[in-house]
Structure formats: structure tokens, C-alpha cells
Amino acid sequence: MELSPVFWGLVPVLLALAAFAINFMYRRWRRERILQRPFPEAWSNYLLQRVPVYGRLSDAERSRLHQMIHVFLEEKPFYGCAGLEINDEIRVSIAAQACLLSLGRNAALYPGLQAILVYPNAFIARRDVFGDDGIVADSEHHMLGESWDNGRVILSWDDVEAGGSNFRDGHNVVLHEFAHQLDSASGATNGAPPLWRNSYQAWATVFSENFEDLRKRVASQQPTVMDAYGTTNEAEFFAVATETFFERPEELLEHRPELFRELEAYYQLDPRRWR
């Protein structure tokens, strides 16, 4: 019996669907195997030492964080730079802080993230600077961290340690750079990540008003709960707001209640419980 051209035309589609189904089932099986792994005691000790807020999580939160860390470390590669040798202490410390941002969210764990590059300390990034006269000059910037739209995050280990150990000062390079990764999931890093529980209209209004207010306060040298770096642009405002929400939640609620509520709805948790 001769098969029709229509059948042969469907063959590539059927093969593609079969390959997709097999890959989906394999990834699901693999993910379940990962989630069944016990959390090593050495990893818990790293977190108690490097990220003390870990010890203030509820049992349910800690259990979920353990699972997320397992998945993160299985799927996201780390690379040491400038002679830094990557070890479990570095990987677990960074993964835990990155996963805190998704602890309350039922969402994929940084699907666009391709690699984490870690330097021993602040690194130098070269940038083209455009002068008022149109001349382009090469400029060096000392960086604590960077997030790229192509799925790469760059971190200074010294600053990762400092940010994790002091979870009250509003400065955390891991939270900051991974907030950029959440932001870029919309297709553009502009301070408007994909929203599921928030109203886009309310988000735009609250963030715009608070961004402009922060700029005015910084310009007039008034005290602010958020770091002045948040005035750079809308993307940096979201990243700095995230740092403040997780590390100084009481102050953010007092001084910027609407902004706190938008972030609480987005992250689906209240960090005040960890104080």
C-alpha cells in the first residue's frame, strides 16, 4: 500500500512531537530524582555561616529552598575567573541567595540563565563612554557584579560573602544581579518583569512615582531608605528595590508602603518574618 504525500509530510512533525515528549518526560524524571536527594549537612553549615538568614526560615521554606538549590546547582554551570577555584561553598552560597528570590513564586527557576562567572573580588569592566562632543572614549569600571541579557551573571566572591553575611544593610550583589535576570525575562531589562499577580497598571504607577521621588530626594540630599544607585534607571531601581525589600523590609514598608506591597505581591512572601 502506497502511503500518501500527506502522510510523508506529517512525518517530520510527528518525529518532532515525539522528540519533544521524550525530552519532556526525561527532564521531568531527572528533576524528580534531583528533588529526592538529601541536602548535605556540609551545605547547611555553609549557609549558616555565609547566609545567616537561612537559619531564620521556616521548616517549610528551608525544605523548599533545599530543593531549589539542588535544581539550581544541577542546571546552572559555575566558572571561576582570575584564578578563583569554584567549590561547593561558593556554589551553594550563591545558589541559596539567588533562589530566595523565587522562594515564594511558583515559577521556573531562571530558565534563561546560562552561566555564573565568579571573580575573587571586584573586577574591571571596560565601557565605551560617549562625550558631549561625540567622541567615544574607553573607560574602566570597577564592578561588584553584572547581569547580561544573554543569560550570564558575573559576581565578585568577596562581595557575595559580604552581602550574605549582613542581611540588614540593603546591599546584596546576588539579590541585585538576579533581580536583573528576573527583569530580563520580559525580553527587556527595564524594571518591568513578567507579572502574574500584580496589575501592570498599578506596577507602572507605583514604580514610576517612587523612582521619581527617589531621584528628587537624592538630588536634594535627603535621607532615603533605598540606595542612590536606584536612580540610575528603571532597571536599577527595581534591583535596588529588591535588595531593600529583602534586607530592610520594615523600613521599606514604613517609608514606601505601596512599593513594599507591589514587591510583596510579586515575590509572594514577607521577609519581615525572617528578622
Is-above-0.95 flag for pTM? Answer: no
The CA distance from 171 to 160, in Å, is 10
Domains of the chain: 16-163 (1.10.472.150), 186-275 (3.40.390.10)
Please state the rounded mean pLDDT for residues 161-185.
96
pLDDT in tens, 26-75: 455 455 666 667 999 999 999 999 999 999 999 999 999 999 999 999 99
Spell out a b/e string for 188-212, using b for 16 or more CB atoms within 10 Å of the CB, else e: ebebbbeeeebeeeebeebbeebbe
Better-scored residue on pLDDT, 142 or 74: 74
Q: Quick one: which of 97, 74, 70 has its CA closest to 157? A: 97
Amino acid at 43: W
Residue pLDDT, tens place only, 86-127: 999 999 999 999 999 999 998 899 999 999 999 999 877 655
Nearest Cα to Cα of residue 184 among 245, 111, 118, 123: 111
